[in-house]
Amino acid sequence: MIFKTFGWSFAVTAAGLVVAFLYGSWEAFGLVAILSILEISLSFDNAVVNAGVLKKMNEFWQKIFLTVGVLIAVFGMRLIFPVVIVSITASLSPWDAVDLALNNHDKYEQLVTDAHPAIAAFGGMFLMMIFLEFIFDEREDKWLGFIERPLSRFGRIDAISVCVALIALLGSSFLFAEHAHQYGGEHADKVSTVLLAGIAGLITYLVVGGLSGHFEDKLEEEEEHEHELEEEAARSGKKFETVKLAGKAAFFMFLYLEVLDASFSFDGVIGAFAVSNDPIVIALGLGIGAMYVRSLTVYLVRQGTLDDYVYLEHGAHYAIGALSVLLLVTIRYEIPEVVTGLIGVALIALSFWSSIRRNKRLAAEGEGDDAEESRSEVPSGV
């Protein structure tokens, strides 16, 4: 199971490290290894959230996510995306931006860093919407009930998530963007840039998430029918296979996953410049890490981990909420990537521990009920 799921990740790791060594000897080899570990540690919450979506898709689309999706993640977000950002923000042609990336690493790093306020606003808004939609939703299982119960009641208000996100964007644009951090410790007024980028992130979520939700809603009747068939199969002792999302529904869920991965990768791409300013080294290191994140996503789905540990998804969404706030704060202030990574890991670890405690409690209650039933069946006298 491990090799079947992580086989491609092992192969990509070996190939990437060989290419790194050939490209820049042992120094590049070490930097690529460090960046790979950095990407994996920062993106574990991404894998958990992805698994929650991917488990609804059929095996074909799961393979697409692991193959085509990886190409998009590695070459699109880790290599092409920074070049596109430099091209747009510096008013350069794509070819000039590529030339700059390959031949003037310091200038390239400077331009990517200066584009950070727009990147952080876009990614921060997209991720914040994911968190808000989750936290305002009424769920049967509640991890932090004292937070989730009152917020789920607020969730009955139409468009509450959008209102809260826009308030956060407006506040951060004036609190942080007015003196946004620039390369070399300088500051610049980027209020309008942050507002436009944040609204673009919000619109992207509404369009992609809305299309995915639309097709999911259309399948609700089919799922209800499926549930009836499942109960009938259970009564008759027959095996029942759950129908997974396919066609247009799966395509838009796949698109949603790719945008989600892009939003998660923003901090990793920017933070990678703290390790190296060579775009080839960054692409190799983050690409290897992205491959493991995808393999971990598929592993979580096939093992049914989210069904067994019900609070894991809660912990991942709280990590997303924390990351969205941190992205907005980094518009003005520098926050070490290790802080971002540790917050996410801590929240997921706590949710995993809470899930284990819940499972033990339910098991103990079940044993207690069985014992009580057995005692009631014992004759009370002669």
Q: What is the pLDDT of residue 382?
A: 40
Q: What is the pLDDT of residue 306?
A: 67
- Per-residue confidence of the chain (382 residues) as pLDDT tens digits? 677 777 878 888 899 899 999 988 888 888 888 778 767 766 666 777 777 777 777 777 777 877 777 777 767 776 777 777 778 767 778 888 888 877 887 787 778 777 778 888 888 898 898 889 888 888 778 888 888 888 888 888 878 899 999 999 999 888 887 766 555 555 566 888 889 989 988 998 888 777 666 655 655 555 565 566 566 666 666 654 554 555 666 777 777 777 767 666 665 666 566 567 677 887 888 888 878 877 887 777 777 776 777 888 788 788 888 888 888 888 888 877 667 767 877 888 898 899 888 888 888 877 665 555 555 554 544 4
Q: What is the pLDDT of residue 378?
A: 47
Q: What is the pLDDT of residue 381?
A: 43
Q: 187 has which bridge partners?
A: 181
**Angle at CA 300, nearest 5°, toward 79 and 340?**
50
Q: Residue 160 CB: number of other CB atoms within 10 A? A: 15
Find out whether 318 and 48 touch, Cβ atoms under 8 Å. Answer: no
Report helix, strand or coil for 180. Answer: strand
Among candidate residues 358, 373, 293, the one with its CA nearest the CA of residue 145: 358
- Long-range contact list for 368-377, CB < 8 A, 24+ apart? none
The amino acid at 236: S
Q: What is the pLDDT of residue 163?
A: 92
Report helix, strand or coil for 378. Answer: coil
In terms of C-beta density within 10 A (0-12 exposed, 13-18 middle, 19 or more buried), how is residue 196 classed?
A: middle
Q: What is the pLDDT of residue 169?
A: 93
Q: What is the pLDDT of residue 113?
A: 76
